[in-house]
Amino acid sequence: MTTHASNSYRVDPHISQRFYINGQWSEPVSPASLPVVNPATETVVAEVARGMAEDVDLAVAAARAAFPGWSASSAASRAAFLGKIHELILERKEELAQALSLEMGAAIGFARAMQVPLAAEHVRVARDLLTRYRFQTLEGSTAIEREPIGVCGLITPWNWPLYQITAKVAPAIAAGCTVVLKPSELSPLSALLFAQLVHDAGLPPGVFNLVNGSGPEVGEAIAAHADIDMISITGSNRAGALVAQAAAPTVKRVTQELGGKSPNLLLPDADFAKAVPLGVMSAFRNVGQSCSAPTRMIVPRDRLAEVEALAAATANAIIVGDPQSEDTVLGPIANEAQFKRVQVMIEAGLNEGAKLVCGGLGRVAGHAKGFYARPTIFSEVDSSLRIAQEEIFGPVLCIIAYDTLDEAIAIANDTVYGLSAHVQSQDLDQARAVASRIRAGQVLLNYPAWNPMAPFGGYKRSGNGREFGVYGFEEYLETKAIVGFGE
């Protein structure tokens, strides 16, 4: 039996049982709370206040009152606040990493190396953009002004909790908007720390507000609120569609970052000894709980045996275990509902007759507790199978064979999603030509380094709108033409 090193992070009840509204930690209207479960031990580690529509009203009123002042503040002063927030994230990175690890099971090394630093990058990017973004341009004698859209409701998921928060909050407040954030009720601890550091950065009251709670209670109240101008949600397609429906009567802007089932197309000339292991690790990063995870590896049929052997060797060498251990590559799945969903999908793959290359049902050996799923690879997967069509959001990879390039591209495009895609080839011209035929918001050639300026978002049912860099920033702006402005 594996023993668990204990997580050093202790939740402060002064903040977990309150909301951050109008520059202070305020009492919720109801004493109700929601448990936060450590997925490594299945124990409740905190109770967070559970918001109601009335809490949302208070947060929106604060954001609305702060909007005139904040939207009229200079870009330089907003950049200075973002700079301070960036500094504080880096200063408190260990505490944030521990909170992330506790709330969603991220391996501590991964939380330190990826979850926290990449979250900080969104803040840095927003700060830097403000030094050069032109809020006014001229088209002949017409001035085009870009102005903040207003009060924004931001709804985020549990898989990259802090990163998804900064990807929305930083560009929104950089643009001059004020915000009401609802983090995932399953992983709200890093969000509370973020609110505390925003407070410590001295942001004017009401610019940033946080209300915890469930999707149907707080999320829907935000989506439907008459005094909110825009919603940005990252989450499942189900929640994204419900938010759009609730938002429709008030005609607010809705941007959605939703699911994915991203292809990884290996062209025959790819360096398989590198491309396959990197493909497996990319699919399983964050325990496969990334909307852009390349979970469909599309390979030439005559290379199938070689790909299976390389993929199995990679998966079998992955250390899955206690997220507090420095050696751990993958911790548990973030919560029980997701663990069960992954099991259902592995079972579907087995029942549908896909070839199991490694992994399978049940917990990783040695773990009686904790949501430890086995890294699982299926091969000879037909593109029509459920495991090839539905987002699984766990460490499950499908290997799909192709005979011709046209067929490979058709398979890559053969889902309702279009978030991200990978192409592997030693011939860059060929990789580029394939990229242009893939219907996805982002195509990555030969595993490039992450670029926080590259716009991220979905074609088809993966969503609407873009995040990151200048494209993400502009989602929070309105466009005003002043005709007859003069030269």
Catalytic residues: 257, 291
Contact 470, 130 (CB under 8 A): no
Q: Which amino acid is at 381?
A: V
State the Cα torsion 45-109-157-69 to the nearest 10°.
100
Structure-block tokens of residue 59: 């947060």
Footprint of ligand NAD on 273-312 (CB under 6 A): 291
Structure-block tokens of residue 160: 């990259």
- Residue identified by tokens 């997701």 is 338
Name residue 143's beta-bridge partners: 138, 482
CB atoms within 10 A of CB 337: 11
Q: How far is the CB of 158 from ligand NAD (least distance, A)?
A: 5
Size of the site for ligand NAD (CB under 6 A): 31
- With binding defined as CB under 6 A, does residue 51 bind ligand NAD? no
- φ and ψ at 44, to 5 degrees? -75, 125
- With binding defined as CB under 6 A, does residue 217 bind ligand NAD? no
The 3-state DSSP class for residue 424 equals strand
- The H or E element containing residue 272 is helix 272-284
Among positions 206, 463, 465, 472, the unique one binding ligand NAD when judged by CB under 6 A: 463
Footprint of ligand NAD on 147-206 (CB under 6 A): 155-159, 182, 184-185
Q: Which stretch binds ligand NAD (CB under 6 A): 43-51, 252-260, 301-309, 479-487?
A: 252-260
**CB-based burial of residue 249 (10 Å sphere; 0-12 exposed, 13-18 middle, 19+ buried)?**
exposed
Closer CB to ligand NAD, residue 124 or residue 261? 261
- With binding defined as CB under 6 A, does residue 234 bind ligand NAD? yes
Closer CB to ligand NAD, residue 185 or residue 322? 185
Closer CB to ligand NAD, residue 278 or residue 440? 440
Ramachandran class of 380: left when φ > 0, alpha when ψ lies in -120 to 50, beta otherwise: left
Closer CB to ligand NAD, residue 195 or residue 357? 195
Q: How far is the CB of 112 from ligand NAD (least distance, A)?
A: 20
Q: How far is the CB of 101 from ligand NAD (least distance, A)?
A: 17
Closer CB to ligand NAD, residue 154 or residue 408? 154
- Contact residues toward ligand NAD (CB under 6 A) are 155-159, 182, 184-185, 214-216, 219-220, 223, 233-236, 239, 242-243, 257-260, 291, 391, 393, 419, 462-463
